[in-house]
Amino acid sequence: MARARKASSSPVSAGNPCPFLRALVAQGLLADGVEPLGKVTSTIVAVARTGEGSPALPAAAIWAIALIAHGLNPLTMARTKREGLRLSGLRDGPLDKHGAGSGILDANGRVVARELARLDEFASEQIGSSGQSERGLTLAQIRRYMDANFERAEGRRRALDRKLMDGEWPVLLKVMGRDGSGGRYLSVADVRTLVVDRELPKRMTQALAATV
Ligand code: HEM
């Protein structure tokens, strides 16, 4: 698999609303354009493996999510299967919650500072495995955050949106989380790095570089 770029970051289209995929594009692991579903899946699985405790993501489920990302209509799915995932064109597909999520990225892919600050309101002080203290969210806090995001979107949300969230923040916790004294937590600083700098935590990019 490709080595993550270090010095410069590749441009990422506004049409990619997924903070995790945006970092993979910025770090040169996936193209901003079209990528075969197999490559998208293997890249995500390989990156996940560099997380703390070597998290294993289910390849078949990721492949299936990528397959439906541009639409559920059989013709659209056949095209996605044949041509691949268009990372620059993920908006307005079935996975787009149209603002019913965190709101950390606006519709143009820009970071909304007050929404990023709001994430911290759901966090608490966590003690990491090496004894460091930092702000982070446990799974219970992530669930409260997702429930609040869903609540405030009343009138402009689909019931499905709450289910989709379960495949976003909790998966990010699994991949990027750290083992702390109170269980696994998602570091607020790591989320900030992911969305603002479009970078994975340094410990993950270093582990990734060591695998090639
Ligand atoms: C084929 C794989 C994937 C596709 C097609 C995809 C697509 C998307 C899309 C379209 C959104 C925007 C949803 C919205 O309107 O808020 C999104 C958001 C998100 N995704 Fe992904 N994603 C994929 C994999 C992942 C993975 C592996 C992770 C975690 C490691 C992840 C974490 C997130 C998070 C945290 C959000 C933000 C939700 C929010 O702001 O509330 N995604 N993704």
pLDDT, tens digit, 9 for 90 and up, residues 60-69: 999 999 999 9
Residue 37, ligand 1, Cβ within 6 A:
no
51 falls within a domain:
yes
pTM assigned to the model: 0.95
Which residue's alpha carbon is at the smallest distance from atom 17 of ligand 1? 18
Domain housing 168 = 19-210
Count: domains in the chain: 1
| Rounded average pLDDT over 138-143 | 98
pLDDT of residue 173: 98
**Section 171-184 average pLDDT:** 97
> Do the domain assignments include residue 9?
no
Task: Assess if residue 186 is contained within a domain.
Answer: yes
Asked if residue 147 belongs to a domain, the reply is yes
Considering the domain boundaries, does residue 32 fall inside one? yes
Residue 100 located in a structural domain: yes
> Which two tokens mark 27?
């770090």
Alpha carbon 105 to its chain's center = 12
Residue 13 domain-assigned? no
Q: Are 201 and 191 in contact (CB under 8 A)?
A: no
Q: Which long-range contacts (CB under 8 A, 24 or more apart) does 112-120 make?
A: 116/191, 116/192, 116/195, 116/196, 119/145, 119/188, 119/191, 120/188
Q: What is the pLDDT of residue 48?
A: 98
Where is pLDDT greater, at 212 or 6? 212
Q: Is the CB of 122 under 6 A from ligand 1?
A: no
Supply the pLDDT for residue 83: 98
User: How high is the pLDDT of residue 130?
Assistant: 83
Q: How many CA atoms lie within 13 A of 134 on its CB side?
A: 20
Whether 3 is in a domain gets the answer: no
The mean pLDDT of 14-40, rounded to a whole number, is 98
